[in-house]
A and B are shown apart, each in its own frame.
Chain A
């Protein structure tokens, strides 16, 4: 009994002493895409070191969940891998702004033991495979992309994501751009009605299935393929070059898009024009209300975004993301200034 009273007293005292300090720490909550989670958590922890009174929390619950929570105003900011649709923008209680934060890329991976990591794919061929029209490795379309390579007479097993994912969105977005047929029969979304193939859960699920299944072809994020030494192919860009995904080739895709960037940044940069561009690249976006109720948090979040777009970018390559080109950052800063902070 005496111990309990002592503990209660101690707890009360701690609360009284600690509460002024607690009230000074401001929490900002966000939720959304899983794809940028590693860089966002790095940013938030680095930013917290610089500004110990600001704590930004991020739940990586998926793009769809992020958009829904932002619309319901249960979080202060959202994050998504596919831009919000016009319907979703209308459903939001205020004007939502998109801000590209970093870039990612999706690469085709395959399992052909007799062939190394030098296969080349044109977009039309990949679309044909994912539509179930090209079913064998020695198909003339694949042979045309890979002159001089003896492709095996084996069935292609397509592997795609089974979970809804920004990775699938980028992959479908690219295939729909190069193949009208793909656009019509499959379309672009985080989950689609796949005509063929096996579904693996997450990047690791797809990579696991591809490693296991001889003759399979799938797609994963570049970070995943490069960190795990999975062989991936080059993809043909709009200029007709076969480009292997690298951080530079992905940033190049964004640079070429900067000249034609729409004011709301809701742009797809798959199949972007330009030399050395990797065509299956995409932005990932952070979502903010233009005129949020909480002006204090709004000001802090704008400050954070300025830091993320400048000093924050240097953390991108080590985590496998491509940093934004300066051209895009120069467009984003004026847009950030539009957010009401007073």
Chain B
């Protein structure tokens, strides 16, 4: 009885399993295409009226019906890349310590705590940002020497609210993601590689560098995963960035992001053109995310180049 059953289900599997999974897989493609189509339709008025100037101008005036979204694009990219710059060394440090250096007793609790950071809701990060981080940034700005404040990167009144506060919150939010993926990558570096390095007389530091080099494609993937999260983060950012659509190099200036302006203004956008302009921002956020993902893929492919698929393998589940 069990034998017959097994053989029958095997033939069923043969027919239905590829079909079923294929159906589900094509669903995700359809979903992405559907989202893109709906958003193009929902932003059509704005695309028609402003064309490319929507992305070249910086006046956002719902009263006059004039919409230019450059400051939002700028704020999103600036804050995300700054967050990446801050988070990457920290995340790599955590990953290296946990996979290579940490004493065994510390490893489990540290992994648990790092991953706990990822489970905190973004509104809580926003609250923490506004009550703890913002006053700290304000003090930091007060401590800046005058010559530094004269540079375009550090000028402006001491508000605390602004790009740096947003980038710091984002950095804390993306560290656990990048760190835990990078740790998995380092773990997957074959032990024989390390043994070979030690056998050639490498120091511990050199062996770690070798492991990092071996897993570089996956590590880039880990960083890009963080970037993806930073680009779309809404709540925590809007609470600390100051929500002022201006293009400024200054880390202390209040700025605005694409996700934040949609969340802020969508509910009260009664006018059609206004609504379409907001959806167009969403559309571009969508395109930017896809572009960055494609770019990271390309990077992984180029870096992994000579050794082909095998080297890129650990990155596959990472870079989505």
Hey, which bits of chain A sit against chain B, CB under 8 A? Answer: 34, 61-65, 67-68, 88, 155, 157, 162-166, 186-194, 197-201, 205, 208-209, 212-213
With CB as the reference atom, state the residue of chain A lying closest to B238. A201
Given contacts A157-B159, A186-B63, A201-B239, contact A212 B134 (CB under 8 A): yes
Name B268's contact: one of A164, A187, A199 (CB within 8 Å).
A164
**Pairwise interchain contact A193-B242, C-beta atoms closer than 8 A:** no
Nearest chain B residue, comparing its CB with the CB of A34: B267
Residues in A neighbouring B43, C-beta threshold 8 A: none
A156 to chain B, nearest CB (A): 10
Residues 190-245 of B at the A interface (beta carbon under 8 Å) = 238-239, 242-244
Would A212 and B130 be within 8 Å (CB), given that A165-B268, A205-B239 are in contact? yes
Between-chain CB contacts (< 8 Å), 8 pairs: A65-B267, A164-B62, A164-B269, A165-B268, A191-B62, A198-B244, A201-B243, A212-B160
The yes or no answer to B25 lying at the interface (CB within 8 A) is no
User: What 14 additional pairs, Cβ within 8 angstroms, besides A63-B268, A64-B269?
Assistant: A62-B267, A63-B270, A64-B268, A64-B271, A162-B260, A164-B62, A165-B268, A193-B63, A198-B244, A199-B242, A201-B239, A201-B243, A208-B130, A213-B161
Contact status of A213 and B159, CB under 8 A, knowing A192-B61, A201-B238: yes
From B238, B256, B270, give the contact of A88 (CB < 8 A).
B270
- B238: A residues at CB distance < 8 A: 162, 201
A219 to B237, CA, bound (A): 22
| Cβ-defined partner of B267 (8 Å) among A88, A163, A187, A194 | A163
Instruction: Give the distance to chain A from B72, nearest Cβ to Cβ, in Å.
Output: 12
**Is B130's CB under 8 angstroms from A187's CB?**
no
A213 CA / B239 CA spacing, docked (Å):
14
CB distance from B95 to the nearest CB of A (A): 34
Q: Which residue of A lies closest to B272 (CB)?
A: A91
B247 → chain A, closest Cβ, in Å? 15
**Which B residues touch A209, using CB under 8 A?**
130, 161
Given contacts A157-B159, A201-B264, A208-B130, contact A192 B239 (CB under 8 A): no
Number of B residues near A (Cβ < 8 Å) is 31
Which residues from chain B sit less than 8 Å from chain A, CB to CB?
A: 59-64, 130-131, 134-135, 157, 159-161, 238-239, 242-244, 254, 256, 260, 263-271
Residue of B nearest to A80 (CB): B270
Q: Is B160 in contact with A191, judged by CB distance below 8 angstroms?
A: no
* A162 x B264 contact (CB < 8 A): yes
**Most chain A CB inside 10 Å of its own CB: which residue of B161, B264, B267, B268:** B268
| Known A157-B157, A157-B159, A212-B135: A199·B244 in contact at CB below 8 Å | yes
In the bound complex, CA of A208 to CA of B59 (Å)? 27
For the complex of A and B, 7 pairs with smallest distance between CB atoms: A164-B268, A199-B243, A62-B267, A64-B270, A187-B63, A162-B243, A193-B61
Partner of A197, one of B59, B64, B134, B244: B244
Residues on B with beta carbons closer than 8 Å to the beta carbon of A192: 61-63
Q: Are A193 and B160 in contact (CB under 8 A)?
A: no
Contact in complex: B60, A193 (CB < 8 Å): yes
Residues of A within 8 A of B159 (CB): 157, 198, 213
When the two chains form the complex, which single residue of B254, B269, B270 contacts A198, counting CB atoms closer than 8 Å?
B254
Q: Are A68 and B270 in contact (CB under 8 A)?
A: yes
CB distance from B100 to the nearest CB of A (A): 42
Q: How far is the CB of B226 from chain A (nearest CB, A)?
A: 24
List of A residues within 8 angstroms of B160 by Cβ: 212-213
CB distance from B300 to the nearest CB of A (A): 37
* Complex CA–CA separation, A65 to B266 (angstroms): 8
Chain B residues within an 8 Å CB radius of A190: 62, 268, 270
Contact partner of B62 (CB less than 8 A), chosen from A157, A165, A189, A198, is A189
CA distance A265 to B27 in the complex (A): 51
A191 touches B265 (CB 8 A): yes
CB atoms of A61 and B64 under 8 A apart: no
A176 to chain B, nearest CB (A): 10
Contact indicator A199/B130 (Cβ below 8 Å): no
Q: Contacts of B264 on A, CB cut-off 8 Å?
A: 162-164, 191, 199, 201
Interface centre among A88, A166, A199 (most CB of B within 10 A): A199
A137 to chain B, nearest CB (A): 13
